Structure 1
Amino acid sequence: MKRDRVLVWGLSLALAAPLTGLTGGVARAATDYQAEDAHISQGTVATNHTGYTGTGFVDYTNIKGSYVEFTVNAASAGTAAVTLRYANGTSTDRPMDISVGGTVVAPAVSFPATADWNTWATRTLTVPLTAGSDKIRATATTADGGPNLDRISVDAATDTQAPTRPGRPGCSDIGENGLTLGWGASTDNVGVTAYDIYEHGNKIGEAPGSSTSKTLTGLTPNTTYNLTVIARDAAGNTSQASPVVDCTTKPSSDTTPPTAPGILSTADITSNTVDLGWGASTDDRAVVGYDIRSDTTVYKTVTSGTSTTLTGLACNSPYTLNVVARDAAGNVSQPSNTVTFTTKACATDGGVPSSIATLSSGWTIPWGTYWLPDGQSALVTERDDFRVWKLTKSGTRTQVGTVPNAVTTNGEGGLLGVAVDPKWDTNHYVYFMHTASEGNRVVRMTYDGTQLTDYKILLQGIKKNRYHNGGRLAFGPDGYLYVSTGEAQTPDLAQDKNSLNGKILRMTTDGKPAPGNPFGTYVYSLGHRNPQGLAFDRNGRLWEAEFGNSSKDELNLIKPGANYGWPTCEGSCSVAGMTNPKATWNVSEASPSGIAVVRNVIYMASLRGERLWRIPINGDNESVGTPTAYYVGTYGRLRTVTKVPGADQLWLSTTNCDNNGGAADGSDKIFKVTIS
């Protein structure tokens, strides 16, 4: 039975093994595009017959003009063999026009009857493709509509070779609000199509592949920008990041700050919110925003109006706030008057942080923490020095070794996550994720309680870049190892089911894909930008924290086979087939790293936000309550948070020594937080 019109957006790729014997990074490879993930007009995704691949097939509406349109990629212009897999359980032919880019290239292609709706057949034809992205549409030409369509396979030239690393950038024409960035050209076997420009891991612009410079505008005066360039080709292959250049804009010619805002007042104080209002400031040019502050720590920026509701406050806690005005030149006014208040009492469910104390100091970028089965000590990794330490509950630390073959990326790579085998008492296995010469690796070593030995690679081929390497490891209640991987500053990898990047992976302790994985590979979920926090709740459900680019950071509830949207979505969006986060934050308030669960509450460490977020899970439902923040601006960049076994406590680490924090080596600390 045919159904009403449904629109479905998305793209699924399944690469077959490339044919051998070809050179130059271009191979012949069949690429499968599932119909249920394509653009569907006047049809619906169905699963009421057997024998389909993927997650379903498209049931065309019985109408002339109903169609399915696939977006495919070709490394270069030329012909391609396109194979359509279909079923037709009627006795009537259901012909379709096949078009490329809006031009019909194969009219009224016959799709004759198959034995029944559970019997699938194929039709192959040759079509012309242009280099880059092409749209292939299969349109019904009769009132009977098209057949049931499972997928198409495109056998075209596939470019697998990434461009070379761009040459060292430099800055010229530096002004107050802009500069021109130039770099050495990259080369590619097919051709460079674009250059992406990053500032501390966030993409801020791009230039065509024919250019080696870009004028950046909208910058802040007297501000240092840490810039790199990545080359990209038509197939989506990306280079390693260029060397880094720091460029500082000129001080503004506008030196007059706005006037101090008028009287700041409070109203409607609750356990985690307060309403604020103040008098408008004036400026010789224009006020562009108001910062709500405690001392110099900014809690919120308001760009329109002179009132706001400040959310995310800790319950039963004192606050002292003022407000300042800013202009486009970065001049800051004198503060308003100060208001002091205490939020209302805490709800008892789940507990709240009640005390914090320094457990251990003298660290340099402690990145991963994982408890040994005795619950008395944990292993801690240091990212840039590749050292591994044993840290006890009393705060005593002892170096147990280093992880060989680890390298840095001058960004977010290095020695990252650590996990201890649930059967450590008998096998003494521990696991690390680290950056190596060729990419990121998951490795296994033996730790006998005193030292690390027996390095073994379990999984490699996870692409690396300066930023977006992921790196968190966690064992699930099922005994399998979960791994978070970034998309290596190549957003398209997050949607490629055959790539290990931009994913949550699930694997056995001997390095194989875990049984029951949704695609029969290592991939457990996809569509991730830079996932860094992994934690399981009391129901065995997996939660994940993820860096956004410039808009929204995310807290996700991970389900097998689910697509979390990047790069199509950053934060919540209404795109079929993509899963929305359970909570989001502005990137200035979070930039989340590690997470942990204590008494059905998720705690999320934040780097740029310099705070610990408390996010209660709503009972056993798939939703969370109001997030609230602790220690805002008090301890700097918070990296990893880990539950202490057998206690309502957390270990919380800083990474103020990283290249964003800039503190001296040895300045980082690990704190003990009590929940009551």
Structure 2
Amino acid sequence: MQRRAVTAVLAASVLLLTAGCSSDDQGSPGAAPSPSPSPTAAGSSASPVEETPPAKGTVKVVRTVAEGLNTPWGLAPLPEGGLLVASRDEGTITLVDEESGRKTELGEVPGVSAAGEGGLLGIALSPDYASDRMVYAYFTSASDNRVVRMLYDAEQPVGEQLGAPDTVLRGIPKGMIHNGGRIAFGPDGLLYVGTGESGQQGLSQDKESLGGKILRLTPEGEPAPGNPFPDSPVYSYGHRNVQGLAWDAKQRLFAAEFGQNTWDELNAIVPGGNYGWPEAEGRSDDAKYRDPLAQWGTDEASPSGVAYAEGSMWMAGLRGQRLWRVPLKGTVASADSQAFLEGDHGRLRTVVAAGGGKLWVTTSNTDGRGAPKEGDDRILELEVS
């Protein structure tokens, strides 16, 4: 398989940021793919037939799908049924039967070096999964963060169902904090990767670095055609720590991002956009930086996963221990954000659309900063509107 190695400058040591940081480390103890970018510019006019969701929504916890999970991070529903769940600290991928909650460990991803916020993070299915059975994973190794892909062969013995990893992208800066980690295939069939600046703030504005970016790649790891910077995987920059990626019904990309002392963000992503970090946190008076479409005080969010359903973006809060609803009209919020599940289930990490007005949400109470209760961590099924 074709591989691409991208080298980034890694610091010999990483200095922790100020104690007020809302990041996950501190502040909390088929259609053919289109070759061109799918998201439209933030603030662009929406289609005249685009409906505005109600200002107020609802959330109902339908059931607990599974419990007893260790540091769940990535979650990927299989088309044949079942949920793949990545354990950050154990470096394993587990198949969860979404009907019975039964857990089957598929195997351990070799090379995972779990420490601090690092470990086995996001997972995603190949856009050709039905034929190639490839599972993509983002993880922290001994030297960097990287993206690999592995064959999932259900015919192999339990515990040995993951093939040897093939490296798609390497050289993403790593640290004890701000490792990013969310990966997703977009409506264009291309791979989007959310990275963090690993505690080295200057990397976010350095377009030669892979840190503090959203990257856009072919499934083989090459810079995607139509990217804003020639021969570069960088799609947008000026990010602090991106852990949420989702597209709305019009194929526009949105990303959740940790702030430091003041503001956490939900951003509408445009190709080549500069989102300001470390020069700007939250909304800014400087026109060269893209403003978030919504922002929250750092004790209310610490956002990780995000998903689109029923006309709104739904964003998980770690330190905030709540689920945020952001109703959308185009790429702007059509009403004030609304909080649900506040404190009910502890820290919330990942949100995935389950179809039919439902979401799957994982808790994150065993990650070293939560207060785990009996049964943690869990996958919850929610009904939303």
Give the TM bin, normalised by the shorter chain.
0.7 to 0.9
**Matched position secondary structure for 1:425:** helix
In the aligned structure 1, how far is the partner of 2:283 from the partner of 2:209?
24
Q: Which amino acid aligns with 1:627?
A: S
- Structure 1 position 472 matched with structure 2 position 182: yes
Equivalences for residues 373-392 of structure 1 within 5 A: 373-374=79-80, 376-392=81-97
589 and 351 in structure 1: CA distance in 2 versus 1, 3 angstrom threshold? closer
Instruction: Give ranges in structure 2 of 5+ residues lacking alignment.
Output: 1-5, 30-52, 156-160
1:420 counterpart residue number: 125
For the 8 Å contact 2:268–2:331, the answer to whether it is kept is no
For the 8 Å contact 2:113–2:142, the answer to whether it is kept is yes
197 and 370 in structure 1: CA distance in 2 versus 1, 3 angstrom threshold? closer
**Cα displacement string for residues 539-576 of structure 1 (whole angstroms, at most 9, x for unaligned residues):** 00011000000100000000110000000000000113
CA displacement at 1:355 relative to structure 2: 3.4
501 and 197 in structure 1: CA distance in 2 versus 1, 3 angstrom threshold? closer
383 and 624 in structure 1: CA distance in 2 versus 1, 3 angstrom threshold? farther
**Matched position secondary structure for 1:641:** strand
531 and 199 in structure 1: CA distance in 2 versus 1, 3 angstrom threshold? same
In the aligned structure 2, how far is the partner of 1:545 from the partner of 1:662?
24
In the aligned structure 1, how far is the partner of 2:343 from the partner of 2:350?
16
- Structure 1 position 581 matched with structure 2 position 292: yes
**Cα displacement string for residues 447-496 of structure 1 (whole angstroms, at most 9, x for unaligned residues):** 12351112111111111000000000111000001000000101110000
TM-score normalised according to structure 1 size: 0.49
**Matched position secondary structure for 1:534:** strand
1:549 counterpart residue number: 260
Range 621-630 or range 587-596, more displaced:
621-630
CA displacement at 1:617 relative to structure 2: 0.6
For the 8 Å contact 1:503–1:525, the answer to whether it is kept is yes
2:49 counterpart residue number: none
In the aligned structure 1, how far is the partner of 2:125 from the partner of 2:153?
12
1:370 counterpart residue number: 76
1:558 counterpart residue number: 269
CA displacement at 1:665 relative to structure 2: 9.1
* Bigger strand share: 1
CA displacement at 1:596 relative to structure 2: 0.6
| Match 1:614 to one of 320, 325, 337 | 325
In the aligned structure 2, how far is the partner of 1:605 from the partner of 1:390?
22
In the aligned structure 2, how far is the partner of 1:564 from the partner of 1:504?
11
2:372 counterpart residue number: 663
For the 8 Å contact 1:199–1:225, the answer to whether it is kept is no
350 and 432 in structure 1: CA distance in 2 versus 1, 3 angstrom threshold? farther
In the aligned structure 1, how far is the partner of 2:92 from the partner of 2:202?
33
Q: Which amino acid aligns with 1:367?
A: W
Q: Which amino acid aligns with 1:364?
A: N
**Matched position secondary structure for 1:494:** helix
In the aligned structure 1, how far is the partner of 2:238 from the partner of 2:129?
33
**Cα displacement string for residues 145-203 of structure 1 (whole angstroms, at most 9, x for unaligned residues):** xxxxxxxxxxxxxxx784x549xxxxxxxxxxxxxxxxxxxxxxxxxxxx665448669
1:406 counterpart residue number: 112
| Match 2:60 to one of 333, 349, 354 | 354
**Matched position secondary structure for 2:76:** strand
For the 8 Å contact 2:112–2:120, the answer to whether it is kept is yes
In the aligned structure 2, how far is the partner of 1:668 from the partner of 1:638?
10
Equivalences for residues 313-324 of structure 1 within 5 A: none
**Cα displacement string for residues 493-514 of structure 1 (whole angstroms, at most 9, x for unaligned residues):** 0000110000000111111111
In the aligned structure 2, how far is the partner of 1:600 from the partner of 1:420?
24
For the 8 Å contact 1:390–1:400, the answer to whether it is kept is yes
For the 8 Å contact 2:326–2:333, the answer to whether it is kept is no
| Match 2:146 to one of 433, 437, 441 | 441
1:567 counterpart residue number: 278
496 and 656 in structure 1: CA distance in 2 versus 1, 3 angstrom threshold? same
CA displacement at 1:351 relative to structure 2: 5.1
Of all paired residues, the percent bearing the same amino acid is 44
Instruction: Give ranges in structure 1 of 5+ residues lacking alignment.
Output: 1-16, 19-159, 167-194, 204-223, 227-346
For the 8 Å contact 1:657–1:665, the answer to whether it is kept is no
TM-score normalised according to structure 2 size: 0.84
2:235 counterpart residue number: 524
Q: Which amino acid aligns with 1:566?
A: W
197 and 489 in structure 1: CA distance in 2 versus 1, 3 angstrom threshold? closer
Q: Which amino acid aligns with 1:423?
A: D
In the aligned structure 2, how far is the partner of 1:636 from the partner of 1:161?
34
636 and 515 in structure 1: CA distance in 2 versus 1, 3 angstrom threshold? same
For the 8 Å contact 2:263–2:295, the answer to whether it is kept is yes
- Structure 1 position 638 matched with structure 2 position 344: no
**Matched position secondary structure for 1:574:** coil
In the aligned structure 2, how far is the partner of 1:197 from the partner of 1:530?
13
For the 8 Å contact 2:348–2:361, the answer to whether it is kept is yes
**Matched position secondary structure for 1:379:** strand
